[in-house]
Structure 1
Amino acid sequence: MKKFLFLSIFLIPFHLHAQILNKDGEWKYLGVFEETDDFGEEYLSLLEGFLEEIKIDTLRFRVINDLGYYYHTRNLQKSLEIINKGLKEVREAKNEFWEGKMQVSKGAILLRLEDLDHAELELRSALQKLPEVETWLLLTNLGYVYERRGELGKAFEFATQTLQLGEKYGDKKAMAMAYSDISNIFWKQGKYIMGVEYGQKSITLFEERGIRDLDYDFTLHVLGNNLMALGQYDEALPYFQRSSEIGNKYGFYNNLSDTYIALTELYSKIGDFRNGEQSGKEALKYAELLQNDFMVIRSLHSLGRLKNQEGEYDDAILYLERSIRTAAEDFGDMYYLSLVYQDLSHAFEGTGKISESLRAFKTYNELNQKVFNAEADQRIAQLQTEMDVHQKESTISLQNEKLKQQEIIQIFTLLLTGLMVFFLFFLFRVFMRRKKYSLLLEKQNKEKEFLLKEIHHRVKNNLETISSLLALQTAQVDNEELREIMQESQNRVQSMGIIHQNLYQGENLSAIEMKNYFENLGRYIIDSFDAADRISLECNMAPFQLNVDRAIPIGLIVNEIMTNSLKYAFPHNRKGKIRINLKEENSHLYLSVADDGVGIDKDSQVKGTGFGTQLVGLLTQQLDGKMTLSTQVGTEVFFEFQIEKAA
């Protein structure tokens, strides 16, 4: 009876706000903000109450992840608790995919808790567990980590990667998020026209998608910020109003705080201080409900800036100093903290506390080196002068002091100008000499690079000639065993030839990109056995460069093991897969070559001449490595090489 009543609560208002339906004993979940937005602020409570009824692992994991991720818009500690419990469940179930998804959610939560380092660790760990198509939200949050650290260039790189993924897989949400993040970065850089352009692109994609979610809400706010910075207050206001409507409907406390901060700024600029103060207090209310120090700091800053604009400097100081006290010593976002100190300097100046104003402005300048310029230098000099005048006011008349200072400044300016002219002339001479030397070095480097490429090209051509001669000779041999030996020798020559081909075609003349090399080598060997229609190759590894001294013996090792797999692991034209992986960890290289064939008996006698096995052993010894054979499923050969001692 209890279960029947519980289900009734969900099924009766399903068209309004429920996300889960039980039909004929099967559960269907309409993912929040993915398949539907037809619900109200209570959606998280409904999902949370329903969680205990779900017994299907994948459905349960999805609901837990949505709960944890979207609770971070209201209660960061609760969202972290939900995700940690979810991670425990998926790890016990050994579900790597959902472990990666929940790590992305945990990274987003830690980011908003200002624990930037741990957020980055979680996100980078998840990157190894998710397929590429699922990584756009992960990359987005990594971009936020670097944005909070003030590394806007790195944040822009992640936004670009998100955009490329969205275009590759036709994912409008990923593309909209990338445009939104780019718009926000341009706003921080003061490039407001470009910010508006990318914000409008993002809004268009979100509206084509047809779902009003957390990120659409945030993008409305970002576009409003850029328009406000351009002085287009009437155009900006509707975006902030739409953002607050969505935030109130779904309980997005974080976005509501953000939007009310922006409204405080907007009302301040148009002189509506009463509505501005009301908006600032709303921003602070939602920041405190969220228990997010970052938003509390920004809300207090918005109120302090408003009071500065209003001329109520004592109140401004109270808000701004409280904002600074809220920021811990390891507070990561120096951009916003610098703005607090900038406005605090203005407030102190308004009350006549010139010394305190100077200290606050110097702190602002240290935190925001990117905006340190002649204007900032003039500002510091002005405050320094005002402080000196204030301290000497009781003994020296103000007018005489200004005259003396002007004389000193004139003399200093003349001396400094002379020194600068001399210094610039000296720098010009040095620059011209170095430019000539650099041009000479560049010419010599291009000549050497051309010669090296030509050498590699000729070596590759010679190896291809040898390979062709071996092929011609093989065609004339009737003995099957000798034919196989000739074919294997041809493959060994080809494996070295591919390396030299990559060297003269690539930009790096001393290193090989191993993933591409393994793919080319693998296809060649498979084709040489006429097995392309039944044997597939998988190189599940990141792009990885290796110098030639290591690449050649490793290439020969892979050649021998793949040849052995194609000869013995797939009898009677059996279909299968060969997997190659190479990675570097802790100054060691780890290589594995595996197949899903019939496997081998470790105690069985060596088939064929045994030369391939001897060659692999010699090459492994040459690289100061060790080899391990596993035959649990098919055959896997695992190698470990020490990088420092490798020949």
Structure 2
Amino acid sequence: MKQVVFLAVFLLPLSLIGQIEERNGFFQYKRVFVETDKYGFDYLDRMEATYPNIPEGSVLRLELINDLGYYYHTRNLKKALSFIALGLKEARAKEDSYWEGHLMVSQGAILLRMEELEKAESVLNAAIAKIPESEAWLLYTNLGYVYERKGMLGEAFDFAAKTLQIGEKHGDLKAIAMAYSDMSNLFWKQGKFQTALDYGLKSLEIFEKRGLKDLDYDFTLHLVGQFLVDLDRPSDALPYFQRSILLGEQYGFYNNLSDTYIALSNLECGMGDFPAATQSGLEALRYAELLENEFMILRSYLSLGKSNNASGDFVQAAGFLETGLARIKPDFGDKFYLSVAYEALSEAYEGSGDFEESLSASRKADLYRKDVFTAEAEARIALLQTHMNVAQKENTIKLQESELGKQRILMVLYLTLAIVLVILLFILYRVFLRKRKYSHLLEKKNEENEFLLKEIHHRVKNNLETISSLLSLQIGSIDNPELQRILEETCTRVQSMGMIHLRLYKEDNLKEVEMKEFFESLGRFILDTFDAEGRIAFGTQMHPLKLDVDTAIPIGLIVNELISNSLKYAFPKKGAGQITVSLYEKSGNLFLEVADNGIGIPENSSSQGTGFGSELIKLLTRQLDGKMTLVTASGTAFSFEFLLNKAA
């Protein structure tokens, strides 16, 4: 829901307007990155200068404060949080739950980037009840980020899927683009680089269709560049990084700038341009320091450490990595990057000959990966052990015994796992055999049921044909013309129902009738019954459409009555003409039209026949919860609208 907010001119000096523009004597706030992206780096300064002049508790003020808090988190997290605290105080004083919910979403996004994962999750969950479904995608996006940072990628993917569902349901391109961007990032963390690239490019396509270059479009440019680096396509990645940097500098997205320079440092390091890699790492650190985000600070120092490791300056690398690890709090939550940082620090210590510290850092890296006894870690520790044998011979025997103990533990662990795996495979095989047997029984039962259902349709069709034949014999023995006509009409109605059961019997689908072919067969039958094939043209104007039998029979009877009435009354004196039937589905409803180009229904005309056919049509229309419209210009046309779910 987009809220449009107006404010009288006299409330704001023109110099403080910022992103507010005058319209017909009132000011309207054009939401940044929602209605426009036509402004420069100072847009937050302008908004910050504007909001104090707006009355406290007004919707315009709350909207401005929320946007200030949300977008200041790209430059200064503490300042962003202070704006949100102010907005929440005013929204709660006004008892405005709508804006309280939106401000809580912004608060959760800021706490997430301050590494307060538990607080962020709690705030976001509390906001769910306050946000309309159509606007809840940003809430679910940030909840997905919380779980991603915790390493719970499956739960994170669930929230990305929920964001996509909301976007598709409400036609929100931003939500759809965000969902694909988040999914691409999750695939990348799983090592599925090509799938990540496919989703990232799809996200960029939707962002560009939306036509607004914002924070999340900028971040997705960075992601796509990173995916291309991991796919060993550095020359393709570079333009995406360059575009991301231009946008980040235009709007002051410090977090994205830090991210992109880190990725650029990795790219340059891989290409052997170590001075450029170091310079990019320093740029990443500069923006991380401006943002005061310890997560970005650690990653910036990590990129500097890795580039110096690659260039052989291990002492400098160790210095960068030690500084980065010292800058984070003890409860820093992202163990993935902690493991990467300690792994790089171990490499730096090893390169500088400090093997004892290298071993200690390697063990910390393995601990954070929660998988101490991987084959890779074991090989790494064995290599470090060899170096330490040269540097410190007195510890050789003790360390070797430690390694042998680990090997024995591993052997016992592997043997236990193998036994458990064999038992599980045996159980799964037994379950598979039972399910396959049960599946075969179900298939056989289904085949029997289908045969029985087909036989029922066949017998119903035969019984209806028998009734029709009996009626035909009875007609031949009756002298009363009026009674003959009534029996003939009854015969055509019975034959109409019989034709539906004939189609169900002959076709593979025992539950649905293809209506276009049915109408064509019904029309030919009725024309033949009235001996009108040579003078009346019958046709359908519709695409093939299948309906269930409970809907098809009433509609078939309605069409039967209307075609019969047209042949009886619309073309007097054996005149020529045309009858057309159409049926189509739109927006959950069925639309039926039966039209002829005959003489029409004269005004004030007396009713003809018994009136039973008209009553039958009304009854069947009510049965399908429909309504009928009659048009008599240029012939006669009966239009019907039925509720499809009611009909089904």
TM-score, normalised via structure 1 length: 0.61
Distance 1:337 1:19, change over 3 A: same
1:43 corresponds to which residue?
Answer: 43
1:31 corresponds to which residue?
Answer: 31
Aligned equivalents of 2:418, 2:283: Cα separation in 1: 58
Match for 1:63: what amino acid?
L
Q: Which of 9, 17, 20 is the matching residue for 2:15? A: 9
Q: Secondary structure at the match of 1:323?
A: helix
Match for 1:131: what amino acid?
P
Match for 2:46: what amino acid?
L
What CA deviation, in whole Å up to 9, does each residue of 1:546-600 have, x standing for no partner?
A: xxxxxxxxxxxxxxxxxxxxxxxxxxxxxxxxxxxxxxxxxxxxxxxxxxxxxxx
Match for 1:36: what amino acid?
T
Is the CA contact 1:342–1:361 (under 8 Å) kept in the aligned structure 2? yes
Q: Secondary structure at the match of 2:41?
A: coil
The answer to which of 269-278 and 239-248 deviates more is: 269-278
Match for 1:292: what amino acid?
N
Match for 2:132: what amino acid?
P
Aligned equivalents of 2:288, 2:411: Cα separation in 1: 55
Match for 2:78: what amino acid?
Q
User: Any gaps of 5 or more consecutive residues in structure 2?
Assistant: 1-8, 440-648
Aligned equivalents of 2:279, 2:233: Cα separation in 1: 22
Distance 1:302 1:423, change over 3 A: closer
Aligned equivalents of 1:426, 1:38: Cα separation in 2: 65
Q: Secondary structure at the match of 1:128?
A: helix
What CA deviation, in whole Å up to 9, does each residue of 1:43-100 have, x standing for no partner?
A: 0111111112333722221111101100111111111111101000000100001000
1:69-218 to structure 2, matched below 5 A, reads 69-218=70-219
Distance 1:69 1:433, change over 3 A: closer
Structure 1 residue 373 displacement after superposition: 3.7
Distance 1:443 1:321, change over 3 A: same
Q: Secondary structure at the match of 1:267?
A: helix
Is the CA contact 1:334–1:367 (under 8 Å) kept in the aligned structure 2? yes
Aligned equivalents of 2:386, 2:19: Cα separation in 1: 65
What CA deviation, in whole Å up to 9, does each residue of 1:281-326 have, x standing for no partner?
A: 1111111111111111111111111111111000100110111111
1:411-490 to structure 2, matched below 5 A, reads 430-431=423-424, 434-435=427-428
1:277 corresponds to which residue?
Answer: 278
2:533 corresponds to which residue?
Answer: none
User: Any gaps of 5 or more consecutive residues in structure 1?
Assistant: 12-17, 397-403, 447-647
Aligned equivalents of 1:41, 1:196: Cα separation in 2: 30
Q: Among the aligned pairs, what percent are the same residue?
A: 50
What CA deviation, in whole Å up to 9, does each residue of 1:500-524 have, x standing for no partner?
A: xxxxxxxxxxxxxxxxxxxxxxxxx
Runs of 4+ in 1 over 3 A off after TM superposition: 3-8, 369-373, 393-396, 415-446
Q: Secondary structure at the match of 2:330?
A: coil
Distance 1:439 1:35, change over 3 A: closer
Distance 1:102 1:271, change over 3 A: same
Structure 1 residue 128 displacement after superposition: 1.1
2:359 corresponds to which residue?
Answer: 358
Is the CA contact 1:110–1:118 (under 8 Å) kept in the aligned structure 2? yes
Match for 1:267: what amino acid?
E
Structure 1 residue 274 displacement after superposition: 1.9
1:243-642 to structure 2, matched below 5 A, reads 243-369=244-370, 373-392=374-393, 430-431=423-424, 434-435=427-428
Distance 1:273 1:130, change over 3 A: same
Distance 1:154 1:42, change over 3 A: same
Aligned equivalents of 2:143, 2:167: Cα separation in 1: 16
Match for 1:22: what amino acid?
E
Pick the structure with greater CA Rg. Answer: 2
Match for 1:42: what amino acid?
D
Aligned equivalents of 2:149, 2:289: Cα separation in 1: 20
Is the CA contact 1:187–1:225 (under 8 Å) kept in the aligned structure 2? no
Structure 1 residue 441 displacement after superposition: 9.3
Q: Secondary structure at the match of 1:369?
A: coil
Aligned equivalents of 1:432, 1:101: Cα separation in 2: 50
Distance 1:420 1:249, change over 3 A: closer
Is the CA contact 1:144–1:155 (under 8 Å) kept in the aligned structure 2? yes
The answer to which of 279-288 and 98-107 deviates more is: 279-288
Aligned equivalents of 2:183, 2:421: Cα separation in 1: 38
The answer to which of 156-165 and 435-444 deviates more is: 435-444
Aligned equivalents of 1:181, 1:428: Cα separation in 2: 35
Aligned equivalents of 2:177, 2:49: Cα separation in 1: 32
Aligned residues, how many? Answer: 428
Distance 1:97 1:392, change over 3 A: same
What CA deviation, in whole Å up to 9, does each residue of 1:195-246 have, x standing for no partner?
A: 1111101100100011010000100011111111112111111111111100
The answer to which of 328-337 and 83-92 deviates more is: 328-337
Distance 1:32 1:192, change over 3 A: same
Distance 1:417 1:200, change over 3 A: closer
Is the CA contact 2:84–2:103 (under 8 Å) kept in the aligned structure 1? yes
Q: Secondary structure at the match of 2:130?
A: coil
Distance 1:94 1:427, change over 3 A: closer
Aligned equivalents of 2:421, 2:24: Cα separation in 1: 83
Structure 1 residue 22 displacement after superposition: 2.7
Aligned equivalents of 1:66, 1:254: Cα separation in 2: 17
Aligned equivalents of 2:182, 2:142: Cα separation in 1: 10
Match for 1:44: what amino acid?
L
Match for 1:209: what amino acid?
R
Distance 1:435 1:168, change over 3 A: closer
Aligned equivalents of 1:288, 1:421: Cα separation in 2: 46
Is the CA contact 2:37–2:213 (under 8 Å) kept in the aligned structure 1? yes
Backbone CA RMSD of aligned residues:
3.3
Structure 1 residue 438 displacement after superposition: 5.7
Structure 1 residue 380 displacement after superposition: 2.2
Aligned equivalents of 1:302, 1:97: Cα separation in 2: 42
What CA deviation, in whole Å up to 9, does each residue of 1:111-151 have, x standing for no partner?
A: 11111111111100100111111110000001111111121
What CA deviation, in whole Å up to 9, does each residue of 1:372-413 have, x standing for no partner?
A: 7422322222223332343228999xxxxxxx99xx99xx99
Distance 1:423 1:102, change over 3 A: closer
TM-score, normalised via structure 2 length: 0.61
